[in-house]
Amino acid sequence: MRIQGNLHKMHTEAGSPVRYGLELGGQPLALNDWLGKNVRIEYLQQIECIHCGRLTKKSFNQGYCYPCFRSLAQCDQCIMSPEKCHFHLGTCREPDWAMEHCMRPHIVYLSNTSGVKVGITRETQLPHRWFDQGAIQAMPLLRVSKRYHAGLIEHAFRKHISDRTNWRNMLKNEVDQVDLFALFEALWPQVEPELELELRDDAEIIAEPESALAIEYPALAYPSKVTSFNLDKQAVVEGRLEAIKGQYLLLDNGVINIRKYGGYLVSMECG
């Protein structure tokens, strides 16, 4: 089976293990069914912007052309650092987009990826946000009314806990289980006094022991050493698919981050 199309991030469905899918050239692919089979990916030397479809020689921010990267609110610095939101200053790139995506309920959470980290996401993005990170455990902590407040609270948590993932350790699956609820109970008394009154009033605690989620990924084996493929340097990637975790396909001879190559025209074969 050989299929051609432009890459987009893999979509996920909750299950044990998580179910992964990819739409390529209008055809849905059930990637869990590819586990244990030989997979071949060839970059066909063409990139289309995942937003406007414009041909571009270089991809920015995981799939955008440069004009979109410079103009879209979803590519602004406040998406990665929501505490830097400037909507209230009247300088948002796309106020209507912000109203739809940022001025909505957001969740502050703990997830265990390569260790425990704090993060935020729109309420509607759970649990898929955790699957995209490759978390083996996750738990929602607080619900707030908008992204800006979530970012400020996340910033306060970062003084006590990381917001980063060591992606190599995540892919090796070298992660110890943690009692996330007990950790929140220890952290919250340190974080809450640092928050302004408006944030305290907006932070609805939703953490409870039963809300912690254990996550299993489709895997036959995890690598002891992680080697990453780069389609810009190596147009053909081929190997036996041994696991899928986060947005990575883990082959027996290296790993590839599918989301990184958004918009890349590729052909994929499995057999």
Place of tokens 């147009």: 235
Residue range 132-182, pLDDT digits in tens: 999 999 999 999 999 999 999 999 999 999 999 999 999 999 999 999 999
Q: 67 pLDDT exceeds 90?
A: yes
When pLDDT is cut at 50, 70 and 90, the band that residue 271 belongs to is confident
Query: What is the rounded average pLDDT for all residues in the chain?
Result: 97
Nearest-angstrom CA–CA distance, 66 and 37: 37
Q: Is 252 in a helix, a strand, or coil?
A: coil
Nearest to 231 by CA among 262, 188, 271, 190: 262
Residue range 188-201, pLDDT digits in tens: 999 999 999 999 99
**Confidence at residue 1, expressed as pLDDT on a 0 to 100 scale:** 72
Q: 217 pLDDT exceeds 90?
A: yes
Q: In this prediction, what percent of the chain has a pLDDT beyond 70? A: 100
- Do residues 113 and 133 make contact, with C-beta atoms less than 8 angstroms apart? yes
Nearest-angstrom CA–CA distance, 128 and 126: 5
Nearest to 261 by CA among 90, 58, 109: 58
pTM over 0.85: yes
Nearest-angstrom CA–CA distance, 155 and 211: 23
